[in-house]
Amino acid sequence: MEKFTTHTGIGVPLRQSNVDTDQIIPAVYLKRITRTGFEDALFAAWRKDPSFILNQEPFNAGSVLVAGPDFGTGSSREHAVWALKDYGFKAVLSSRFADIFRGNSGKQGLLAAELAQDDIELIWKVLENAPGTEVKVDLVSKTVECGNVVAPFEIDDYTRWRLLEGLDDIGLTLRHEEDITAYEATRPSFKPKTLPARIQ
Amino acid sequence: MGKTLAEKVWDAHVVRKGEGEGANAQPDLLFIDLHLVHEVTSPQAFEGLRLAGRRLRRPDLTIATEDHNTPTLDIDKPIADLTSRTQIQTLRNNCQEFGVRLHSLGDAEQGIVHVVGPQLGLTQPGMTVVCGDSHTSTHGAFGALAMGIGTSEVEHVMATQTLSLKPFKTMAINVEGTLRPGVSAKDIILAVIAKIGTGGGQGYVLEYRGSAIRALSMDARMTICNMSIEAGARAGLVAPDQTTYDYMHGRPHAPQGEEWDAAVEYWNTLHTDDDATFDVEVDLDADTLEPFVTWGTNPAQGISLNEAVPFPEDFGDENAKLAAERALQYMGLEAGTPMKDIRVDTVFLGSCTNSRIEDLRAAADVIRGREKDPKVRMLVVPGSARVRLEAEAEGLDKVFKEFGAEWRFAGCSMCLGMNPDQLEPGERCASTSNRNFEGRQGKGGRTHLVSPVVAAATAVRGTLSSPSDLEPASVSASTTTDAA
């Protein structure tokens, strides 16, 4: 995973709550077996509407999405994070993220920064009054800057550390393989195994 | 101080405690007892293992099935959609390469992953269960800690049989009282979600408690736990009891003999201690609950079936008002319209929420001896091939076919429209599934989430209806049972 320290890019105001992952990437695009190449799938249904924000310049070149509360609800599809990244987004700002989406973002180096809704509203106003304004997201100081707005954001320390260091999760866990093996030896024998298969 | 059920299950699976305390704590490393795999969220994880030269650590704790993409017609023919066919073939190749047990299309154990695990007896109390699917919360009905995960985490579990997780907060959902006839588990969970909102459960594990929950069957408890994710919760669970044990006993992978006794002794400890406290408690009155239905485009936008489409200006919060306006426009509804005046084109009975044998029985009891509204099409999609066989042995397939419904093969089907079962733009559907998101059941499709008995009554009248709205059935009305 690439290290993330700061990013500065055009902010995209998405004035909508409950943006579920079916909207971020419709199910029809989940049939692919690759991990990249999902840029065409991002907000595919909404992008058919010419007035959708990503169909307008300069927002189409945006890299910081500023969304309403409860972003990323619904399906666990990590494809939603892949699509945002493939399109060019580096960070999403919202006052509340769905747990699974936030987890998936952290694994893939997309920064999910949680801001107070009042600060989101202030940033929306800046971006709507002056389209093309850049947003600076600083993971070191946990702050966002946009025009005259400077706001703190929340992210859990462990995810922040992993993003700053660009660490691979599996590699980290396998450092403790002895602990896993020791735990396995203590599991009760009545716990089920899938193999050998028993069927009715 | 005592522990909640969720905390007990958590503590029993800690491989390595995270360092630090409170907000700065590192995540705990938890052992995963069962990993369920399907074709959509696994190919990139298997590929990741392959690229890193890693093995799948515990094939004996992993099981795969084909569900999201599978057709529900002509299952003996090659899958027509080439990308779907490729994805399923990829799963077959990966399972063979990594030694994972797979139940493929045509196999009696194939079906929706959350129906297959419990019916095989692989889902048991006190386990940690994960799957690259948000509705993994279903398995919480057994008192398991069951969570949906993303593909990176799927790869992590494949490689290590563990997950790094931050402890959750706990929320009690207390449902006391007795459900009235025609009111069911689906109505409980839709009412809970409407009450706490799509984000109300974020960061929490929900425990469903109270006399109304204790009275429910396992199939009904699974319906409730299934939709925990629609309230934003990472998991939802119900403490195991005699109902749980009766369901499990004799299933293929349930413990046997002395192992069963040892297991039950452990399972009996899996309840929230009397002196334990929840971070939050929410109460719901089962006595006054009515059949529920959604009017909007997220699962929290629901009301009693007896009410009318709400007015956006009645929502205090500006974001909620905008969301309601947008939802009504998408749904093609006018505020103030009685929900029961809304005509549907399609009724879908299926999905991991409501496709189990009891769901099919409850719907069949409503339609038996009645005629379908000729303008409505109805799809019945059993949750698994095993459920389908069971239903056919009871003659339920005949009830549905005589009524004019389509009797299909098992899979996720019209819940998410990855296979050919989709709504047309503007088509309106009463659906027993879990999500009424824009375009979820097909581009431009309009979804109203309902229980199986409301779905069945709606198919009879053509408008959103509860069983109590129906005229007496022409024949064998005496065999109609209470569907709650």
CA angle, residues B411, B415, B421, in degrees to nearest 5: 70
What is residue A2's predicted lDDT score, i.e. its pLDDT? 85
Looking at beta carbons, which residues of chain A come within 8 Å of B57?
Answer: 180
Radius of gyration for chain A, computed over Cα atoms and rounded to the nearest angstrom: 20
What is residue B21's predicted lDDT score, i.e. its pLDDT? 74
Looking at beta carbons, which residues of chain B come within 8 Å of A22?
Answer: 416, 435, 437-440
Does residue A112 surpass a pLDDT of 70? yes
**Are A173 and B416 a contacting pair at CB < 8 A?**
no
From the list B48, B69, B162, which residue is nearest A173 (CB)? B162
From the list B90, B320, B438, which residue is nearest A33 (CB)? B90
Looking at beta carbons, which residues of chain B come within 8 Å of A104?
Answer: 150-153
The pTM of this model reads 0.96
What is the widest separation between alpha-carbon atoms in chain A? 67
What is residue B479's predicted lDDT score, i.e. its pLDDT? 46
CA–CA distances in Å: residue B316 to residues B191, B192, B321: 19, 20, 7
A-contacting residues in B 158-177 (Cβ below 8 Å) = 159-162, 164, 166
Looking at beta carbons, which residues of chain A come within 8 Å of B433?
Answer: none
Residue in chain A nearest B30 by alpha carbon: A180
**Are A180 and B162 a contacting pair at CB < 8 A?**
yes
A-contacting residues in B 234-263 (Cβ below 8 Å) = 234, 251-255, 259-260, 262-263
**Length of chain A measured in residues:** 200
3-state SS of chain B? CCCCHHHHHHHCCEEECCCCCHHHCCCEEEECCEEEECCCCCHHHHHHHHHHCCCCCCHHHEEEECCCCCCCCCCCCCCCCHHHHHHHHHHHHHHHHHCCEEECCCCCCCECHHHHHHHCCCCCCCCEEEECCHHHHHHHHHCCEEEECCHHHHHHHHHHCEEEECCCEEEEEEEECCCCCCCCHHHHHHHHHHHHCCCCCCCEEEEEECHHHHCCCHHHHHHHHHHHHHHCCCEEECCCCHHHHHHHCCCCCCCCCHHHHHHHHHHCCCCCCCCCCCCEEEEEECCCCCCEEECCCCCCCEEECCCECCCHHHCCCHHHHHHHHHHHHHHCCCCCCEHHHCECCEEEECCCCCCCHHHHHHHHHHHCCCCCCCCCEEEECCCEHHHHHHHHHCCHHHHHHHHCCEECCCCCHHHCCCCCCCCCCCCEEEECCCCCCCCCCCCCCEEEECCHHHHHHHHHHCECCCHHHCCCCCCCHHHCCCCC
Q: Inter-axis angle of helices B151-160 and B43-52, to 10 degrees?
A: 50
Radius of gyration for chain B, computed over Cα atoms and rounded to the nearest angstrom: 22
Does residue A58 surpass a pLDDT of 60? yes
Under 8 Å CB-to-CB from A180, ≥6 apart: which residues? Answer: A173, B15, B29, B31, B57, B160, B161, B162
The torsion defined by the Cα of B431, B435, B441 and B445, in degrees rounded to 10, comes to: 80
Residue B373 one-letter amino acid: D
Q: CB-hemisphere CA count at 13 Å for B72?
A: 31
Interface test with B, best of A36, A173, A187, A189 (most B CBs within 10 A): A173
8 Å CB contact between B110 and B410: yes
Distance CA B86, CA B361 (A): 35
**Are A76 and B41 a contacting pair at CB < 8 A?**
yes
Residue in chain B nearest A15 by alpha carbon: B319
Does residue A117 surpass a pLDDT of 90? yes
Distance CA B440, CA B447 (A): 8
pLDDT tens figures, B86-99:
999 999 999 999 99
State the smallest CA–CA distance between residue B419 and chain A in angstroms.
Answer: 9
Give burial (CB, 10 Å; 0-12/13-18/19+) of B24: exposed
Q: What is the pLDDT averaged over residues A63-76?
A: 97
**Are B164 and A169 a contacting pair at CB < 8 A?**
yes
A156 close contact with B: CB closer than 8 A: yes
Q: What is the pLDDT averaged over residues A84-110?
A: 97
Residue B35 structure tokens: 């990993």
State the smallest CA–CA distance between residue A35 and chain B in angstroms.
Answer: 6
Looking at beta carbons, which residues of chain A come within 8 Å of B437?
Answer: 20, 22-23, 74
Looking at beta carbons, which residues of chain A come within 8 Å of B133?
Answer: 75-76
pLDDT tens figures, B243-276:
999 999 999 999 999 999 999 999 999 999 999 9
What is residue B317's predicted lDDT score, i.e. its pLDDT? 84
What is residue B481's predicted lDDT score, i.e. its pLDDT? 46
Does residue A89 surpass a pLDDT of 90? yes
A178 close contact with B: CB closer than 8 A: no
**Are B166 and A156 a contacting pair at CB < 8 A?**
yes
- Mark residue B259 as left, alpha or beta (left: phi above 0; alpha: psi -120 to 50; beta: remaining): alpha
Lowest mean pLDDT segment, chosen from A166-170, A191-195, B270-274: A166-170
State the smallest CA–CA distance between residue A173 and chain B in angstroms.
Answer: 7
Does residue A186 surpass a pLDDT of 90? yes
From the list B156, B203, B437, which residue is nearest A169 (CB)? B156
pLDDT tens figures, A11-43:
999 999 999 999 999 999 999 999 999 999 999
Looking at beta carbons, which residues of chain B come within 8 Å of A100?
Answer: 134, 148-150, 229, 234
**Are B122 and A194 a contacting pair at CB < 8 A?**
yes
Distance CA B128, CA B139 (A): 9
Looking at beta carbons, which residues of chain B come within 8 Å of A99?
Answer: 202-203, 232, 234
**Are B418 and A31 a contacting pair at CB < 8 A?**
yes
A-contacting residues in B 428-447 (Cβ below 8 Å) = 435, 437-440, 443
**Are B124 and A107 a contacting pair at CB < 8 A?**
no
**Are A33 and B44 a contacting pair at CB < 8 A?**
yes
Q: What is the mean pLDDT of chain A?
A: 96
Regions in chain B scoring below 70 on pLDDT:
22-24, 475-484
ipTM field? 0.95
**Are A200 and B437 a contacting pair at CB < 8 A?**
no
Under 8 Å CB-to-CB from A116, ≥6 apart: which residues? Answer: A95, A151
What is residue B26's predicted lDDT score, i.e. its pLDDT? 85
Distance CA B421, CA B441 (A): 8
**Are A157 and B47 a contacting pair at CB < 8 A?**
no
State the smallest CA–CA distance between residue B16 and chain A in angstroms.
Answer: 7
Residue in chain A nearest B438 by alpha carbon: A23
From the list B87, B124, B232, which residue is nearest A31 (CB)? B87
pLDDT tens figures, B183-196:
999 999 999 999 99
